Structure 1
Amino acid sequence: MGMRYRRYLAGERIYGCSHCKTHLATIHAMRSRAFNGQHGRAYLFDIVVNIREGDPCDRAMTTGTHTVRDIYCVKCNTTLGWKYDKAYEPSQKYKEGKFILERNLLVDVQ
């Protein structure tokens, strides 16, 4: 298969994969720190790079049922969180197309 191309981000604060330090997102793409993931605190981002998306599935969450895709680091294949494809509750529509990254799976990269 050949080498995978990875994007490198620039800015004040860059979040990377805790296992391989691949760049994932910047502080400017973060929308909220008030989320919970499967393993603790999580952040909501508008844009995340260097990921691979899994298959969509419906998942019952504390805010209702959502169609989500697990997301994985493109370099080391670590599960990082998920992407919201569809929210069924009208009050949760703002999440569609956004990403959850679990805090304990991120490191600050510079």
Structure 2
Amino acid sequence: MAGVAGINPFYSCRKCRTPVALRDDLLSKKFVAKYGGAYMFTRAMNIVLGQKQDRQLITGKYDVSEVFCSNCNEYLGWKYIRSYDTREKYKEGRFVIEKAKILKEY
């Protein structure tokens, strides 16, 4: 599969191979999510956001929206909308995508 907009590598939905994030937007590989390891990205593409909800996570309370693939509707992770802890504000607007739900493409 060719790169997205000439930029390689990128990450795609494991179920349908739709591109969901660029390697250039990867911030961290050290997150933990429902199904194990997860990556944090500054941006995501070809996604649909679920309703905003309060969620208690390991590092505190947040408003988040679940993230789904826009092509196959597979659950991918979540987007941080708001942090209740000022030390965690850097996460706002960021996307956490489950490692088990994506593939690295070149």
1:81 Cα deviation after fit: 0.2
Paired residues, number: 103
- Partner residue, 2:17: 21
Q: TM-score, normalised by structure 2?
A: 0.93
Among the aligned pairs, what percent are the same residue?
A: 34
- Partner residue, 1:78: 74
Structure 1 runs (4+) deviating above 3 angstroms are none
1:26 Cα deviation after fit: 1.0
Q: Is the 8 A contact 1:9 1:23 kept in 2?
A: no
- Partner residue, 2:36: 40
Secondary structure class of the residue paired with 2:72:
coil
Secondary structure class of the residue paired with 1:47:
coil
**Counterpart among 83, 86, 99 of residue 90 in structure 1:** 86
Q: Is the 8 A contact 1:17 1:107 kept in 2?
A: yes
Task: Indicate the RMSD between aligned Cα atoms, in angstroms.
Answer: 1.0
Q: Provide structure 2 residue ranges, at least 5 long, that are not aligned to the other structure.
A: none
Q: TM-score, normalised by structure 1?
A: 0.90
Residue 107 in structure 1 maps to residue 100 in structure 2: no
